[in-house]
Structure 1
Amino acid sequence: MTRVRCDQTKAWGALQAHYDEAGRRFTLREAFAADPKRFEALSQSAPFVFADLSKNLVDARTEALLLALARECGLEAHRDAMFEGRHINATEDRAVLHTLLRRPASEPATGALASPFGDVQSTLAAMLAYAEEIRADHTITDVVNIGIGGSDLGPQMAVLALEQFAAPGKRFHFVSNVDGHELAGILRGLAPEHTLFLIASKTFTTAETMTNAQSARRWFEQSGGVDVARHFAALTTNVEAARAFGIETTFGFWDWVGGRYSLWSAIGLPIALAIGAEGFRGLLAGAHAMDEHFRTAPLAQNLPVRLGLLDVWYRNFHRFTSRSIAPYHSALKRLPAYLQQLEMESNGKRVDMAGAPLAFGTSPVLWGEPGTNGQHAYFQMLHQGTDVTPLEFIAVRDAAHDLPGHHAKLLANALAQAQALMVGQADAGGHKDFPGNRPSTFFVFEQLTPESLGAFLALYEHRVFTSGALWGINSFDQWGVELGKVLARDIEPRLASGDVAGLDASTAGLLARLRPRA
């Protein structure tokens, strides 16, 4: 498989010339005036998701050049290599098979994928059976998921998003922060005999997770809890360590599943506990439908590809450094944080696959809040600030409640904000002047369901894959999280001893300030 880095292609130079000639002066108002069919040309339906791309700073020429760039970089071959199970995560010599987690049993894998597919199906069946058992156990009223990163963000986001489908009589709590205030606050409202703890750590050694897990077990035992094996389960591959902890129920996953891609695996047990086996299979089905779209649709009609190419256009030619996510649905409140990890941990890289430094930017900063809250917080900057920040709206057509008037106001605000960013407003005095021409993408779900959520998350995964593939980086390792962990292991005992030998002056001074007083 040959990969060509984007800046080493002919299309890259053509895109730069196009940007210099027309792109930097592109005006959305003029584009809509000149082309009455712009919305139809630049909007698209994909499985469970509709996307309006027409308010972006692109035209037919831009898209054609970006598609030429994708082909010259070997995007299709790289995509196919992922689905075939080749070790495209070269720095860790691993396959990237999170899409296999979504593949239905009715479409069995063959060849090298047959064995891992069999493992996936047996683990999924066991996990869902356990989930149904716990859902039927009315003595369990509270489920506490203890994990961090991908073992927390994905399940937490999805459980909140799909709350309308959750089983009555059960509450879900998520602990990730090693700051004991978080765990202590949750434990105050629990009874040990009614609580199930899920310990999510692939190696069962993650420092933050195991610190919280040990404190949870200590609380359980000191509060009169009995039978750790019944009230604790582990999502881990280290069965021996889990058993030593007192846990007998374990569900594993594999080294070809990165943490930020793992909610489809046993890490998704909290989701299955919340929405049931049928709901969890719906989540997988929606993602699989988007997988098939990404795998088979021509590049020009491939929504994840079009979005990933747009990201390259904005990051490397317009030099936009961030992107904001504004879901107009309160249940999606944790979606921006989830997408932040997905994209920034995947594509926040500064060297290519050969280890050579990059001469261009990669991942933008992703950030956001539910849209109506953002309107009264940071939308001021989006409309009138000195930096241009592309914004992504997410709206759901059908409300899941029957409160009169609310949903129409919510949707009207989303539509109005997108319109205002584009058209702006003139004011000679300046203070009420809105420059407009601020780009946005608008996503629409008919309903927020397990299927539509699964499809959207897979859409984003493949979008990140696309931009990473063109940049020539490895989107599937995360070495950047390791150094701080190593240094923390050295610093922790120093907080007790006061030893600052070998530390820089700043760290030594801060450590002295932070040491507990006798």
Structure 2
Amino acid sequence: MKNINPTKTIAWKILQDHFQNIKYTTITELFKKDKNRFKNFAINFENEILFDFSKNIISNKTINYLFNLLKELEYSNSIRDMFYGKNINKTEHRSVLHIALRNHNNNDFIVHNNNIYNDVRNNLSKIKQISNDIINGIWTGYTGKPIKNIINIGIGGSYLGPLMVTEALKSYHNHLNIYFISSLDATQLIHTLKYINPEESIFIVSSKTFTTQETIVNACNIKEWFMENTSNLNINDMFTKHFIGITSNTTDAMTFGIPQQNILPIWNWVGGRFSLWSSIGLPISLLIGFKNFYELLHGAEKMDHHFFYSNINNNIPIIMALISIWYNNFWNAETEAIIPYSYDMRFLPKYLQQLNMESNGKSIDRTKNNIDYQTSPIIWGDIGTEGQHSFFQMLHQGTKIIPCDFIAPVLPHIYLQNNHNILISNYIAQTRALAFGNNITNKNDINEYEICTGNHPSNSIFMRKITPYNLGLLIALYEHKIFIQGIIFNIFSFDQWGVELGKKISNLILEDLNDNVNNINKYDSSTNGLINFYKSFL
């Protein structure tokens, strides 16, 4: 990967000049100048995903200048480095190969001189076997009752990925129930345990290191609860029948009590927020069946091929990344909104928030220098129709520029013709209103307080239907978008050292909360005051 401050490139300076020339241009003017703008600024991928980026404040010159920036940064070498297993996560000396997890054709992925293809395929076979056995009632609880409940214990990528996908693909669910436990707030744990029978439940403990505080504390609580609520039970039977571990730390998982045959690997070349394609996706496979899980992987693989092989002019992840750079770094837009018009996809904004901000929320570049330009935008959002009755007011008439991605399925799984037509009319209308404002109505009929100036940019993504395959396409699209942004930002997108600092400090404070000292006075006055106030109630 080429280590260069992007603001020092020739292309960046040209983009700065271009921004001065185009910043007063409106989307309305751009559409008037180009009667074929939609055709020229939209990409149809296999008739499964339509990406329309015409409602942006960009011209052909803008796109070409952004392409030149990528070329000057030798982006294609960086893409090859990732796909060829180079150690692009240099601060942790690791390859970044979540793409290998959904690979069906290339049997030559090399990591540290080892071909990982067979490891990945063997693990997929194990996921398939476990899924089929539990779904078909072959794997039963210790009393012989079939499994009804899957409880996923994990946090971060071990939680958000499976949660988002299982909810988005709810129309594909079988008879099993899924519960997620991620928080140290005991409310979530206790409320979950109220509704399940231990004899009919499988507990999946997902922690790459098997030391993640939230996960291990909750796993220990569940282990204790399980033993208290079962009788005449051989402890080995308990763990064999009811506990599965997903980790790279087999030793600690076995010490916890999970037998080796119930432990699935997650490799160090898989980052947590990119891990739903791995063993972390076992809950997905259990809820929608392995065949559908495989289709999810297949969709992601298709997007991998598109990203790797497609010409830059027709490459959706690259164009999405460049549009984001355009607003983030030249228009000084600090946020991006993800707005799905689908109830099932309500967790997508939260998932993409982690994927983007944990990857590109960095202030040190690849040469260890402080960064003096904006890196990750703030990602947020909500379901479209609900957002229309809350934050859309700011989108239409506020003073901030907030680029938006609008996402909707053409074909719903639950079809009420009138409902869906109204939903899609809102989806399309909002992008039109944001782009053109009151220019599309008779201004004589409105007063000053009703004026919407328009010129608010957005991308529109139409999915033919929310299927496992198409969801795989969409998730991989955003993964590669974020990777391209990281190339331009000159940062390492695949570590998260900032997360570790809070963990270290919390361990120190936990010692103070647990000791008998009544007046803590070794931190700053605020931290001391908060600790002492809390301890006054104990």
Sort the TM-score into its range (normalised by shorter chain).
Answer: over 0.9
Q: Is 2:189 the partner of 1:200?
A: no
Cα distance between partner residues in 1 of 2:134 and 2:5: 49
Shift of 1:515: 2.3
1:517 shift after superposition: 2.9
Q: For residues 111 and 446 of structure 1, do their structure 2 counterparts lie closer, same or farther at Cα, with a shift above 3 Å needed?
A: same
Written as runs of structure 1 = structure 2, the 5 A alignment for 1:76-91 is 76-91=76-91
Matches of 1:45 and 1:123, distance apart in 2? 34
One-letter amino acid matched to 1:84? Y
Map residues 440-459 of structure 1 onto 2, 5 A cutoff: 440-459=458-477
Query: Where does the alignment leave 5 or more consecutive residues of structure 2 unmatched?
Result: 138-144
Q: How many residues align?
A: 515
Q: Verify: 1:345 aligned to 2:358, yes or no.
A: yes
Q: Partner of 1:446: helix, strand, or coil?
A: strand
| CA contact 2:84–2:109 (8 Å) conserved in 1 | no
Give runs of aligned pairs for residues 55-134 of structure 1, distance below 5 A: 55-104=55-104, 106-109=105-108, 115-134=115-134
Cα distance in 2, alignment partners of residues 65 and 158 from structure 1: 36
* Cα distance in 1 for residues equivalent to 2:405 and 2:487: 22
The CA deviation at 1:114 is: 5.8
Q: CA RMSD in A?
A: 1.4
Distance 1:465 1:143, change over 3 A: same
Q: Distance in 1 between matches of 2:536 and 2:465?
A: 52
Secondary structure, aligned partner of 1:25: coil
Hey, what's the Cα distance between the residues in 1 that align with 2:516 and 2:70?
55
Match of 2:35 in 1: 36
- Amino acid of the structure 2 residue aligned with 1:332: M
Contact between 1:239 and 1:250, CA under 8 Å: does it hold in 2?
yes
Q: Distance in 1 between matches of 2:372 and 2:480?
A: 24
Aligned letter for 1:328? Y
- Matched with 2:142 is none
Matches within 5 A, 1:47-446: 48-104=48-104, 106-109=105-108, 115-137=115-137, 139-168=146-175, 170-224=176-230, 226=233, 227-248=238-259, 249-425=262-438, 426=443, 429-446=447-464
Distance in 1 (CA, whole Å) between partners of 2:239 and 2:75 is: 49
Deviation at 1:9, TM superposition (A): 0.9
8 A contact 1:498–1:515 mirrored in 2: no
Q: Distance in 2 between matches of 1:449 and 1:114?
A: 34
Please state how far the C-alpha of 1:386 moved relative to its aligned partner: 1.2
Label 1:498 to 1:436 Cα distance change in 2 as closer, same or farther (>3 A): farther
Task: Give a deviation string over 1:203-232, Cα, whole Å, max 9, x none.
Answer: 111000001101111111112264232111
Using the TM superposition, give the Cα deviation of residue 414 of structure 1 relative to its aligned residue in structure 2, in angstroms.
0.5
Q: Give the secondary structure class of the aligned counterpart of 1:318.
A: coil
**Aligned to 1:396, what secondary structure does the other structure show?**
strand
* Secondary structure of 1:397 counterpart: strand
Amino acid at match of 1:211: V
Can you give the 5+ residue segments of structure 1 that lack an aligned partner in the other structure?
Answer: none
2 CA distance for matches of 1:403 and 1:189?
Answer: 32
1:111 and 1:155 mapped to 2: Cα distance? 27
After superposition, what is the alpha-carbon deviation per residue over 1:302-354, rounded to whole angstroms, capped at 9, x for unaligned? 11001111111111100000000110011101000000000000000111101
Residue 25 of structure 1 corresponds to 24
Which position in structure 1 is the counterpart of 2:528? 508
Q: Secondary structure of the equivalent of 2:116?
A: helix
Contact 1:153/1:338 (<8 A) preserved? yes
Partner of 2:513: 495
TM superposition shift of 1:275: 1.0
Give distance in 1, aligned partners of 2:447 and 2:120.
63
In 2, the alpha carbon distance for the partners of 1:281 and 1:438 equals: 39
SS at match of 1:431: helix
On the 8 A contact 1:229/1:246 being kept in 2, the answer is no
How big is each residue's C-alpha offset from its partner over 1:447-489, in whole Å with a ceiling of 9 and x where there is no partner?
Answer: 1000000010000000001111011111111001011000010
Q: Distance in 2 between matches of 1:13 and 1:111?
A: 39
Q: Distance in 1 between matches of 2:25 and 2:370?
A: 31
The C-alpha deviation readout for 1:88-117, integer Å capped at 9, x for no partner, is 11111111111001101x431265576212
Higher mean C-alpha displacement, 251-260 vs 45-54: 45-54
Q: Is the 8 A contact 2:100 2:109 kept in 1?
A: no
User: Whole-Å Cα distance in 2 between the matches of residues 110 and 436 of structure 1?
Assistant: 48
- In the TM superposition, what whole-angstrom CA distance separates every residue of 1:335-382 from its partner, at most 9, and x where no partner exists? 000000000000001111011111210111000111111111111111
One-letter amino acid of the counterpart of residue 406, structure 1 = N
Alpha-carbon offset, residue 32 of structure 1: 0.6
Look up the match of 2:140. none
TM-score between both structures, scaled by the size of structure 2: 0.93
Deviation at 1:391, TM superposition (A): 1.1
Equivalent residues of 2:169, 2:466 under 8 A apart: yes
Q: Structure 1 residues 301, 404: CA separation in 2 closer, same or farther (over 3 Å shift)?
A: closer
Counterpart Cα distance in 2 of 1:317 and 1:167: 48
Matched AA of 2:218: N
Letter of the structure 2 residue corresponding to residue 398 of structure 1:
L
**How far apart are residue 493 of structure 1 and its match?**
2.2
- Matched residues in 2 for 1:302 and 1:53: separation? 12
Indicate the residue corresponding to 1:482 in structure 2. 500
Return the offset for 1:428.
6.7
Separation in structure 2 between the aligned mates of residue 358 and residue 451 of structure 1, nearest angstrom: 38
TM-score by length of 1: 0.97
Seen in structure 2, the aligned counterparts of structure 1 residues 193 and 516 have a Cα distance that, compared at 3 Å, is farther
Amino acid at match of 2:14: A
Find the aligned partners of 1:173 and 1:64 in 2 and give their Cα distance: 47
Instruction: Name the SS for the 2:448 alignment partner.
Output: coil
Worse-matched range after superposition: 420-429 or 447-456? 420-429
1:259-315 C-alpha deviation (Å, 9 max, x unpaired): 000000000000000111111110000000000000011111111001111111111
String of CA shifts for 1:397-440, please: whole Å, max 9, x gaps: 00101334111111011011111111112587431111111001
State which drifts further: 92-101 or 238-247.
Answer: 238-247
CA distance in 1, matches of 2:467, 2:2: 39
Match of 1:7 in 2: 7
Q: Distance in 2 between matches of 1:139 and 1:270?
A: 16
Aligned to 1:405, the other structure's residue is in SS state helix
Separation in 2 of the partners of 1:514 and 1:405?
Answer: 54
Amino acid at match of 1:215: N
46-55 vs 384-393, which deviates more?
46-55
Quick one: distance in 2 between partners of 1:326 and 1:273? 28
1:234 aligned counterpart, secondary structure: strand
1:46 counterpart = 2:53: no
